[in-house]
Chain A
Amino acid sequence: MSEQLISLTHKDFETDQEVRWCPGCGDYAILKSVRKTLAKIGRSPDEVVFVSGIGCAARFPYYVETYGFHSIHGRAPSLATGIKLANPDLDVWVVGGDGDFLAIGGNHLMHVLRRNVDLNLLLLNNAIYGLTKGQYSPTSTPGTRSPSTPGGSFDTPVNAAALALGAGGSFVARTADTLQDHLPEMLARAHAFKGAALVEILQNCIVYNDAPFGDLTSKKGRADNTVIVRHGEPMVFGTDRDKGLVYESDRGGMRVTGDISEASVHDETNWALAATLARLDDPALPTPLGVFYCAPRDDYTTVLDAHVPYAPLTRDDLQEVLYAGSWKF
């Protein structure tokens, strides 16, 4: 199998299937970014596999011209692990929603992250269950009115990025469906990371949960409501880029400053800083986006190979194990 790079465009990754998401769904933008990123990466589509569970997000594989496996709810990460065990050289992407990855699939997500299986994990978080008609999800803000919570939900939600860091994830990033340049940048960074790379993509469901993360659509909304962090750069935001975040490590929080010279510099190798960024959900503060944490370590199949390398079992080997402890009469 070659890792030779070839020249492709995003059109090469279109399938002949009609895309069936609702008009206005954030998934269209994500799909476009994924196709663009794959083209730029230049790996042959025959060596790329998209694996998904169940949900709107999980329809992804049908729309990308690579190998694809649309499996069962929550189990895509473990299925993808099996693919990697069989053939570590394949480029494997796992796509799912907040229900798929964090409700039924939470356990499997935890284990691929701690094992650092070399997968590109795209978590399309719209804080709702779309495909099953709008029930609240593990990431829904309390008070979410839904068919199963007509009076408003009251579960404390889980924070995907924080959970991923807690599970031992070595690459955790967040972006949003409306960010046409930032999204592909995150996808490329995730792909380049050899190990379990989780990208939480804030995504809009216009039918069941419109704008749960605030206005991320307008230019001003994006500028004021989010802060894009980059390793080695000060954390600055705002339409005029006149506001900054100051990291207060002693209390594990951030504060906003109008004096950007005191804005903290992001360090994607600093776990505590990453965790603080991940957990930030104060309405008075912008939502952090970007690569929060990137700390390379050997991926699962590399470690496996170092400990228990696979070697074909020959007939002589078979003879040896079959006849162990035998005697002749």
Chain B
Amino acid sequence: MPDGVVRTMTAKREPGPRTVVRFAGDSGDGMQILGAEFAKAVALEHHDLLTFPDFPAEIRAPAGSTFGVSAFQIQFGSDGVLTPGDEVDVLLAFNPAALKTNLYTLKQGGLIVVDEGAFSDRNLKRADYAANPLDDGSLDGYRVMPIDMTHLVAEAVAPTGVGKKQSGRAKNFWALGLCYWLFGGNRKPTIDWIETKFAKLPDVVASNVAALNAGHIYGEALELDAGDSALGSKGELHHGIFRTITGTEAMGLGLAAVAALSGQKLTYCSYPITPASALLHFLAGLNGRGITTFQAEDEIAAITAAIGASYAGALGISASSGPGIALKAEALGLAVAAELPLIVVDVQRSGPSTGMPTKPEQADLNLALYGRHGEAPLPILAPATPVECFGIMIEAARIAMTHMTPVIVLSDAYIANAAEPWELPNVDELPSIEPVFRTDPQGFEPFARDPETLARPWAKPGTPGLAHRLGGIERASGSGHISYDPDNHQQMSDLRAEKVQRVANDGLPHEIDSGMHEGDVLIIGWGSTYGAIEDAVSRVCRAGYAVGHLHLRQLWPLPPNLGAILKRFKEVVVAELNQGQLVRLIRSEFLVDAHAINQINGHPFKVSTIEAALLRLFEQRKAQFG
């Protein structure tokens, strides 16, 4: 495994100044564009950052409705920003519904920048306000900056001659311009981006740029300030080449890397489903370079096509979310039985059933571990951050092709959509991947095994002299012919299980991520809870407690040194966004009385939640042990 492919962090020192800004408006009003551009600008000021888009499933709900509000949160500051922020410092609310549904995120005394031009009687009614909150004193606990953005934008774009509709659409750029003034940010990259993206619509370019500049000028002219929330100086400078990246993009680039480093065709087959569709779009955008994309007629067609592609020598990949992974269960079992390489990505969302399609959750671990009939073990990986999605896909492909097994990668809606800066790897230093295809007919047996990995040969159709039949019925070790022999089924089941266990022999190394390497409490997490746990552990350690954080990237087989790490601590606690899945695995595999910190509300953990749970645990220990 190349170094640096999986990011590890040690956040020991006192964190520097941070700001949390949240934009909220109608979905379809450009909140996500606003947020993404702001994030880029912030990154260019050398700040570290993490974003969290929070949007509803509907495409465009009725304007002004509370269920149609889309929000975008970003935390930025000096080194080591690992979460989007527990509490918001500055809330930009573009209409009453946005204010109503997002005020709860704002800290006491926080700043509300609000478009008072949107606080019409009709919009107030739509948001179920009996009176105008800007006038009735209900916001006295906050600092309110009312700006008639609607009017100011209209004035700013008037010279460009665009209509009312486009004027409304330019509002988010006006707000962006204001933010660049309030928080520091260079308008030029955004102007370049506008000119490129809307190149075919010069009116749109003109009005958006006019709005951007007008927002900035407004802030400058009125000397508006964000108080403590303005960071003042630039962040620490790290030399290197950077970009911001979402988990989805990193996954797509990871697959592109597999194609480039192996020289092989990959076959990506999937069915549209929130929040995994974006990966299909990204890969389709490669236009056939390295990866053939196929939008299948349903989830099962998608995975079976991927299996067919793998069988024929072009590694198949299929991504979906909970409901789709459930549909793929039978086919996953076939891939396990036929011992074919395959990658299945589950971008987890709230369940059960349709659940909350755009909200993150981590409740599919049980599905990944156990969701096939019979004994059908397979390796499971989970990236901890958007950036880690890149390396984890490379690792998944390596495992799949080296060990001849399907692999499940567990991501979630948060990682998929969140953005963070990424110091780009040097492409020349990325290692080659060399999948091995059997060519020698001498002594060929489709189910003979490599003595170390127990992997069977990858013999693709078209190869002379290797014609053979395989399938889902139990087959004889070695020859691969159908076999109902009892001893053979026992042996094959044992071999399949042992083959997966041996993935741990060259799997991702695991050690304490941060905090104490031994001590009183070990807190374990997996997936997107990484940042919240890191920050909580940092706080609790600074308060003098002996706690360590271990974050699993390989959930099955469990890392071979996990047992030894557990023994270094007096207590183990597992934080997950579900009702207890990894904790049950840890308890049953190691017979340790691990406790759970659980939450299942469609939101990521707050740092304070984990911090409070850890402190409570230490209180209990004190009461018990003195």
Cβ B467 vs Cβ A85 within 8 A: no
List of B residues within 8 angstroms of A326 by Cβ: 241-243, 424
Q: Check if B526 is an interface residue, CB within 8 A of chain A.
A: no
The verdict on A329 contacting B240 (CB below 8 Å), with A72-B334, A85-B305, A86-B313 known, is yes
Which listed residue, A46, A72, A82, A86, touches B467 by the CB 8 Å rule? A46
Contact flag A82-B469 (CB < 8 Å), given A67-B461, A327-B243: no
Q: B288 touching A61 by the CB < 8 A rule?
A: no
Given A49-B461, A90-B312, the answer on whether A78 and B263 have CB atoms closer than 8 Å is no
Q: A284 within 8 Å of B by Cβ?
A: no
Q: Chain A 46-65 against B: per-residue CB contact (8 Å), 1 yes, 0 no?
A: 11011100000000011001
Residue B4 lies at the interface, judged by CB distance under 8 Å to chain A: no
Give the distance in Å from the alpha carbon of A304 to the alpha carbon of B288 in the complex.
10
CA distance A325 to B462 in the complex (A): 41
Cβ contact within 8 Å between A107 and B297: yes
Q: B366 at interface (Cβ–Cβ under 8 A)?
A: no
Cα A65 to Cα B257 in complex, Å, equals 37
Which residues of B from 269 to 317 have beta carbons under 8 Å from A? 269, 286-294, 296-298, 300-302, 304-314, 316
Interface residue B465 (Cβ < 8 Å from any Cβ of A): yes
Q: Which of A78, A87, A312 is in CB contact (< 8 Å) with B259?
A: A312
Name the segment of B49-57, B204-212, B470-478 touching the other chain. Answer: B470-478
Partner of A70, one of B259, B308, B473: B473
A74's nearest neighbour on chain B, judged by CB, is: B300
Q: Does B466 contact A (CB under 8 A)?
A: yes
With A86-B312, A312-B263, A318-B260 in contact, do A67 and B468 touch (Cβ < 8 Å)? yes
Q: Residue B427 contacts which of A65, A75, A319 (CB distance < 8 angstroms)?
A: A319
B244 → chain A, closest Cβ, in Å?
Answer: 8
- A46/B465 contact (C-beta < 8 A), A71-B471, A312-B259 known: yes
In contact, A89 and B427 (Cβ under 8 angstroms):
no
Name the residue of chain B whose CB is nearest to the CB of A50.
B469
- The answer to whether B481 has its CB under 8 Å from any CB of chain A is yes
A81 contacts partner chain B, Cβ-Cβ < 8 Å: yes
A78-B304, A321-B286, A327-B243 known; A83+B311 contact, CB < 8 A: yes
The prevalent SS among residues of A at the interface is mixed
Which residue of A has the minimal Cβ distance to B470?
A69
Instruction: Name the distance in Å between B391's Cβ and chain A's nearest Cβ.
Output: 13
B200 at the interface (CB under 8 A from A): no
Q: Interface digits, A11-51 against B, CB 8 Å rule (1 contact, 0 not)? A: 00001010000000000000000000000000011110111
Instruction: Render A81-106 as a binary contact track against B, CB cut-off 8 A, 1 for contact.
Output: 11111110110000000000000000
* Alpha-carbon separation in the docked complex, A45 to B156 (Å): 72
Determine whether B452 belongs to the interface, using a CB cutoff of 8 Å to chain A: no
Task: Establish whether residues A310 and B288, one from each chain, have CB atoms under 8 Å apart when the complex forms.
Answer: yes
Give the CA-CA distance A17 to B481 in the complex, in Å.
Answer: 8
* Nearest chain A residue, comparing its CB with the CB of B469: A68
Instruction: Please measure, in the bound complex, the distance between the C-alpha atom of A329 and the C-alpha atom of B289, giving whole angstroms.
Output: 30
- Report the minimum CB–CB distance from B392 to chain A (whole Å): 16
* A47: nearest chain-B partner, CB-CB: B462
A318 touches B481 (CB 8 A): no
Interface membership of B65, Cβ < 8 A: no
Contact B309 A85 (CB under 8 A): yes
- Given contacts A72-B331, A83-B308, whether A318 and B242 have CB atoms under 8 Å apart is no
| Beta-carbon contact of A317 and B290 below 8 Å | yes
Interface residue range, chain B:
35 or more
Question: Would you give the shortest CB distance from B473 to chain A, in whole angstroms?
Answer: 7
> Do A329 and B311 have beta carbons less than 8 Å apart?
no
Residues of A within 8 A of B300 (CB): 75, 78
Q: Are A68 and B301 in contact (CB under 8 A)?
A: no
In angstroms, Cα B466 to Cα A47, docked, is 10
Q: Is B230 an interface residue (CB 8 A)?
A: no
Judged by a CB distance under 8 angstroms, whether A79 is at the interface is yes
A84 to chain B: closest CB distance in Å? 8
Complex interface residues of chain A between 300 and 327 (CB less than 8 A to chain B):
304, 308-315, 317-319, 321-327
- State whether A79 touches B304 (Cβ < 8 A): yes
B352 within 8 A of A: no
CB of B44, distance to nearest CB on chain A (Å): 6
Collect the chain B residues with CB atoms within 8 Å of residue A111's CB: 296-297, 301
Smallest Cβ-Cβ distance to B268: which chain A residue: A85
Residue contact A312 to B290, C-beta cutoff 8 Å? yes
Given contacts A315-B427, A329-B240, contact A44 B464 (CB under 8 A): yes
Q: Which residues of B contact A310 (CB under 8 A)?
A: 265, 288-289, 292
Q: Which of B243, B261, B309, B430 contacts A323 (CB 8 A)?
A: B243
Nearest-CB distance from B11 to chain A (Å)? 21
- Interface residue? A264 (CB, 8 A): no
Is there contact, CB below 8 Å, between B305 and A81? yes
Please name all residues of chain A whose beta carbon is closer than 8 Å to the beta carbon of B465 when the two chains form the complex.
46
Measured in the bound complex, the distance between the Cα atoms of B428 and A323 in whole Å is 13
- Other-chain residue from A86, A108, A312, A319 in contact with B301 (beta carbon distance below 8 A): A108
The CA of A158 and the CA of B362, in the complex, are separated in Å by: 43
Q: Judge whether B308 and A72 touch: CB under 8 Å.
A: no
Give B271 Cβ to nearest chain A Cβ, in Å: 11
Apart from A46-B461, A82-B267, A108-B301, what 19 extra A-B contacts exist at CB < 8 Å?
A17-B482, A62-B482, A67-B461, A67-B469, A69-B311, A69-B471, A78-B296, A81-B294, A82-B294, A82-B305, A86-B265, A111-B297, A308-B292, A312-B263, A312-B290, A315-B260, A319-B427, A321-B253, A325-B243
| 10 A-B pairs with the lowest CB-CB distances in the bound complex, closest first | A313-B290, A82-B308, A70-B471, A82-B305, A86-B314, A86-B312, A68-B469, A78-B301, A326-B243, A318-B260
10 contacts between A and B (CB under 8 A): A47-B462, A62-B469, A71-B334, A87-B314, A87-B462, A107-B297, A107-B301, A309-B288, A318-B256, A323-B424
